[in-house]
Amino acid sequence: MTTQIVSALRTIIAPKNGALAGLSLPDLAAPVMRACLVQAGITPDQVDEVIVSNALGGGGNPARLCALAAGIPHTVAGLSIDRQCVGGLDALLLAKAMIEAGQAHVIVAGGVESYSTRPIRLASQHPAALAQHYDRPAFAPAPMPDPDMDRAMAQVAEKYDLRQTDMDDWAIRSHANALAARDSLQREIVAVSDNGATHDPYARPLTDRVCARAPQIDGPITYANTAIAADGAGFVVMVSPEFSKKHGVAGVDVVFGKTVAAAPHEPAIAPVYAIDQVLGALNIDPQTLTHIEMMEAYAAQAMLCSQLTSLPLDRVNQQGGALARGHPIGASGAVLAVRLFHDIMAANGGRGLAAIAAAGGLGTAVVLQRRS
């Protein structure tokens, strides 16, 4: 036996300044953490650690705030990580490593992000200079290239000769899949907003005509084939084999995962190296994967990562992806894991892959499995 995920839930994913705009990080995370523990039949006092990915919150230790708000004992310190977009999956890999090192038996892991309430960032290059607003930190030191993510994606699309119409088709499929799965997706969603919403509000009937009218961001990268900034949270409960055996809980095995780095100016293809290394280490043929959750920060990125690793495209984001939900940076990887967990559990077995890219040239891939 290996480390297992025994429950997994998330909030709706809502566009910035939308349905979740008034909620703080603990407001978003705590109800999901509590619901995960209830779903797993685990009490808060059995939790050894809480690991939370967050990219925009401004520091401090949001994991501690979220854990306390969830009613987890104050003896649990909470551990916050920031690896940008891959952080939500990396929280799970860190939890797995801690459990397998004997440091914990029960860990709540995942991510939370609020684009709507993120702090304004100011920085000064000199003590006598006025601080200036900046939107994002540097992802590579000078003089290394550190393009804006939209520019980096446009460059990669040009390098691999991707057509805008193909990107738009990918986005149309993502929205259509999400709309078709709206009812089934409710099983993984915890209502946290005042209106009690249990479906992702952004998914819509996207068409070629709508895509053709979408404003251009950079070259073939448009608002139709790019994920929007969003608020949301996703968490899992992970347990050791000893805890699983003693308490009779079971779920999905976290088989193996890895984070790798590529050139900082080509973050879109970093998951290719992570996927190849993870599947290679496990001697897994991509065609044997039953479920695949590929991050869709951009349609181009999801297309490239799927095609360059020979993934079966009919199994990628079968119930929609981030193009139809939005991108709550620090939480997005965790949302992929929640999606994968529920698809594998609903199928009563299978082997799935979750993969995501991050600014700075990072990529994470994780394999989950349940034997039927």
Instruction: For residues 212 and 222, give the distance between their C-alpha atoms in angstroms, rounded to a whole number.
Output: 9
User: How many whole angstroms separate alpha carbon 172 and alpha carbon 64?
Assistant: 39
Amino acid identity of residue 64, one-letter, is R
Look up residue 139 and give its amino acid.
Answer: F
Selecting among 175, 291, 327, 342, the annotated active-site residue is 327
What is the distance between the alpha carbons of residues 85 and 60, in angstroms, rounded to a whole number? 19
Annotated catalytic residue, options 36, 85, 211, 305: 85
Crossing angle of the two packed helices 270-282 and 299-308, in degrees rounded to 10:
30
Spatial distance between the Cα atoms of 237 and 234, rounded to a whole number of angstroms: 11
Q: Is 105 a catalytic residue?
A: no
Beta-bridge partner residues of 261? 362
Written in H, E and C, the secondary structure of 228-275 is CEEEEEEEEEEECHHHHHHHCCCCEEEEEEEEEECCCCCHHHHHHHHH
In this structure, the strands spanning 79-81 and 49-53 are parallel
Tokens 């965790």 found at: 334
Q: Between β-strands 230-239 and 14-15, what pairing exists: parallel, antiparallel or unpaired?
A: antiparallel
Residues 6 or more apart whose CB falls under 8 angstroms from that of 165 comprise 208
SS3 224: coil
The answer to whether 85 is a known catalytic residue is yes
Closest CA to 256 of 112, 108, 132, 89: 89
CB neighbourhood size of 146 (10 A): 17
Instruction: Using CB atoms within 10 Å of the CB of residue 276, give its burial: 0 to 12 exposed, 13 to 18 middle, 19+ buried.
Output: middle
The catalytic site residues sit at 85, 327
